[in-house]
Chain A
Amino acid sequence: MNLLTIRGLAPQKQYVICIGLILCVSVVCYLGTFYIGYKLVALVLLMCVSILAMLFDILPVLLAAMLSALIWNFFFIPPIFTFQINNPEDLLMLMLYFLIALVNAVLTFQIKKAEKKAREKEEKDNTIRLYNVLLNSLSHELRTPISTILGALDTLKENKDKLSENNQNELFDQIDKASIRLNRQVENLLNMNRLETGMLKLNLDWCDTNELIHSVINKLPETHSHIFQIQPNESLPLFKYDRGLIEQVLQNIIHNAILYTPSNTIIKINSSHRSSCCIIQISDNGPGIPEHEHQLVFDKFYRLPNSKSGGSGLGLSIAKGFVMAHQGTIKLEKSEEGGAKFIIELPVEASYINHLKNE
């Protein structure tokens, strides 16, 4: 248990721990009074209160301070088993004890409050910084296709009679492509938003992973010139996951593979399973990604240095988010051919019903 989880404990638990600790320490001290003397007990108890002040809210700590003062008075200051104090020195010490414990509790509480404020401010600053990066990247990513669409439309409108049919078709194609790109960016943003706001609800259903992989490939635009090698895995059980999300994960990874590897690169997709875990591997024989970037590529807005334009740095972080929503993992390794290899593991329910004889 780390410090933050202790600090976040429910108030009832905090009270119980405060009272418990003071009682335990008192009992130990009581048994050892003969050796350490009753005055030292005050210091031990004070130390306990200080530790509690660092961890807990102000009310349980004040209670601990009060309780320890009473216990010290009752069980330790002679005459014991009474609240009576005969020696003026002891009375002064009790008052001082109480005062120090109080000051301690209040001061520590103030420091913790200030700390929390500073943390919140830092978080807010980070959010603003991230937001700025997002806006910059976004305006570029959205404006490029919009410019294409507007420019092509203007040209088509103004030079209707002068343009050759070929050129007209070319412009229409550009509008088409730009719109699809625009739509992809908007979809990425919406998905990011779903992840960030916690609005993501898994729509779990039995899925045929072989079929899913093929349908992702079949839906790719026909303009790419990459070679797909898919190993159908007949022994794969059905898995229960959110088909839409995993489809998006595969799409984003494959989209990147097509965008950032040269033509005729071979992209291999394998699926396998280990007990109740669905494993999908996507590897290529492209130029690969430097090893020290392997962790970073899943960060939001992270783009490889010198990578060509056309991405927003959202695709892989969305992929990671969607996989993690299934309690799964996604990692990047170097493929056997020196390219990139993405490994997705989804620990989800499996069904072997598809292995039964079909009646």
Chain B
Amino acid sequence: MNKAEILIIDDEPQIRKLLEIALESNGFKVWQAETGKEGMVMAANHPPELILLDIGLPDKSGHEILKELRTWYSKPILILSVVNNENDIVSALDHGATDYITKPFRTSELMARIRAAIRSNQSTNTTSTLVFGDLEIDFLARTVKKNNEFVKLTSTEYQLFVLFAKNEGRVLTHKYLLKEIWGLGSQTETQYLRVFVGTLRKKIETNPNQPVHLLTESGVGYRFV
């Protein structure tokens, strides 16, 4: 199999170098762009498997590049962002970014995000069941098992679980989840989401207080792993 190609768009040479070494040692082929403009040209000439985009680029806002890329590029775009900027992250995710990671980040975490993003993009799932550690979902029978025992989910909980299961490893924003499940776009309805995530955790997590599957991304959304 050919090495998957990744395009890095980041103005910091140190970060680019670090990412290059980390990605190459994890079996990826790396292309680099220093500016947003350069990145757009490179992406167009040679569409990569995934784009790592710094949202705080100097020449053009990362958000604009994201919007322009999304007019034609449908593969994963992972946002690199600085911490303390949840609104920025949420806005990027709602405008088509696949996932995000905040600087400073741990390389292992970045690799996990990249793999999850590529996997969910390539997923041509033909089986009717999926397994996540101790959890198993059967889409045909509409059942969920934990440690081989059936878990009784209400219809909303099941819908929520399916949505998470189909986006394993990816962060899903509050807005996205609300729209998909309840058809609501408004941030004010997140109280429903909190309640159902709470009850879902009680059913699928061994210790609901220390969730290992359904993780909270503070101020952004939830991630299922």
Contact = CB atoms under 8 A, between A and B. Distances in A.
Interface in B193-209: 194-199, 209
Interface stretch (A46-54, A133-141, A316-324, A350-358): A350-358
Contact of B194 (A191, A203, A238): A238
Interface residues of A, number: 29
27 contacts: A179-B104, A183-B104, A191-B84, A194-B84, A203-B219, A205-B174, A205-B187, A206-B191, A206-B194, A207-B194, A208-B194, A208-B197, A210-B209, A211-B194, A211-B209, A214-B209, A232-B209, A238-B194, A244-B219, A247-B218, A351-B191, A353-B195, A354-B195, A358-B156, A358-B157, A358-B195, A358-B196
A203 B86 contact: yes
Contacts of A211: 194, 198, 209, 216
A46 B216 CA distance: 70
A215 interface: yes
Interface string B77-109: 000000110110000000000000000100000
B154 A358 contact: yes
**Top 3 A-B residue pairs of the complex, sorted by shortest distance between their CB atoms:** A206-B191, A214-B209, A354-B195
A187 interface: yes
Nearest to A246: B218
Interface string A333-346: 00000000000000
Contacts of A205: 174, 187, 190, 219
A243 interface: yes
Question: On chain B, which size bracket covers the interface?
Answer: 20 to 34
Contacts, number: 62
Contacts of A214: 209-210
Contact of A354 (B86, B157, B187, B198): B198
Interface of A: 179, 183, 187, 190-191, 194, 203, 205-208, 210-211, 214-215, 218, 230, 232, 238, 242-244, 247, 351, 353-354, 356, 358-359
A243 B219 contact: yes
A213 to B, nearest CB: 9
Contact of A358 (B174, B199, B210): B199
A215 B83 contact: no
A-side binding surface: helix, strand, loop or mixed? Answer: helix
A351 B200 CA distance: 19
Contacts of A230: 209
A254 to B, nearest CB: 16
A179 B210 CA distance: 26
Contacts of A238: 191, 194-195
A64 to B, nearest CB: 51
B139 interface: no
Interface in B124-156: 154-156
B218 A244 contact: yes
A353 B191 contact: yes
A352 B104 CA distance: 38
A207 B210 CA distance: 17
B191 A187 contact: no
Contacts of B194: 206-208, 211, 238, 354
A202 to B, nearest CB: 11
- Which of A179, A194, A215 has its CB near the most chain B CB atoms (within 10 A)? A215
A207 B195 CA distance: 10
Nearest to B192: A353
B154 A359 contact: yes
Contacts of B210: 214, 218
A219 to B, nearest CB: 10
Given A214-B210, A353-B195, A358-B156, 5 more contacts: A187-B83, A190-B84, A243-B219, A353-B191, A354-B195
